[in-house]
Structure 1
């Protein structure tokens, strides 16, 4: 996933954060230049300012969202806007599959992450909702097909 954002501490800069879907690894770019990430506790990004100093930006999870927030000098900065409550509910609906154990939880988590990503893309509202409903239905269908296949092999 790729998120474009600005930070008030850096008004003339644009930022891009890439987050690997499978591992959650975060990579930050400032004006298309890779920003170094420290190995110290909290793994802050070391963002150079215009005065030769370095500002530490700590990435923190922002549940239930999958996009992190950055904490700079004790202030929280969202890299993406919060989804409205109704979009959040619809996006996280596949997590009901958690009641189906590991298979359901896996299918539900992947579908929820995809739904959140779809709601943040540039499509029209109708297309976004159509995709999210399709992903949710597909997650339930995949879960039930897997359970049926496993049950038929075991029984």
Structure 2
């Protein structure tokens, strides 16, 4: 997913972070140009300021989120807005498949939940996003019960 944001220390720059749910890797772009990373511990992004100075921005994981925050000089900056508790609950309902189907249900639930977390952050109407999340959740449950019926004849 791609997330556009600005940083207070760089008012004239637009940043975009690309994150992969599957690998956990992130790429940062400053005004459309890929920002390089240092090889030191934490692999910080090396952001160039207007003055020519280089600022280190460390990507840090956020609990229960697939989008990291950027830490610059000890201050954490959100790349995207934090989700509310009920948005997490709604998006993670497919994880209940763990209780129905063990590994198969858990894997399917994890994939559906990660898709839901991405959908809830996309642009467009909130109602549309919630309907998409509901659709993905229902599809995950239906797919699990279909596979369970085919495999085990339950």
CA drift at 1:28: 0.5
In structure 1, how many angstroms separate the alpha carbons of the residues matched to 2:28 and 2:4?
10
User: Which blocks of at least 5 consecutive residues in structure 1 are unaligned?
Assistant: none
Q: What is the aligned partner in structure 2 of residue 116 from structure 1? A: 117
In structure 1, how many angstroms separate the alpha carbons of the residues matched to 2:45 and 2:147?
41
The alignment's TM-score, normalised by the length of structure 1, stands at 0.91
Q: What is the aligned partner in structure 1 of residue 44 from structure 2? A: 44
RMSD, matched Cα? 1.6
SS at match of 1:37: coil
CA drift at 1:148: 2.6
In structure 2, how many angstroms separate the alpha carbons of the residues matched to 1:109 and 1:48?
37
Q: What is the aligned partner in structure 2 of residue 59 from structure 1? A: 59
In structure 2, how many angstroms separate the alpha carbons of the residues matched to 1:101 and 1:57?
39
CA drift at 1:39: 2.2
- 1:148 counterpart = 2:149: yes
In structure 2, how many angstroms separate the alpha carbons of the residues matched to 1:88 and 1:32?
31
In structure 1, how many angstroms separate the alpha carbons of the residues matched to 2:76 and 2:64?
16
Aligned length: 153
**Aligned positions of 1:100-115 closer than 5 A:** 100-115=101-116
SS at match of 2:128: helix
In structure 1, how many angstroms separate the alpha carbons of the residues matched to 2:8 and 2:15?
11
CA drift at 1:68: 0.7
Conservation of the 8 A alpha-carbon contact between 2:21 and 2:66? no
Q: What is the aligned partner in structure 2 of residue 80 from structure 1? A: 80
Q: What is the aligned partner in structure 2 of residue 129 from structure 1? A: 130
In structure 2, how many angstroms separate the alpha carbons of the residues matched to 1:109 and 1:95?
6
User: Which blocks of at least 5 consecutive residues in structure 2 are unaligned?
Assistant: none
CA drift at 1:139: 1.2
Q: What is the aligned partner in structure 1 of residue 9 from structure 2? A: 9
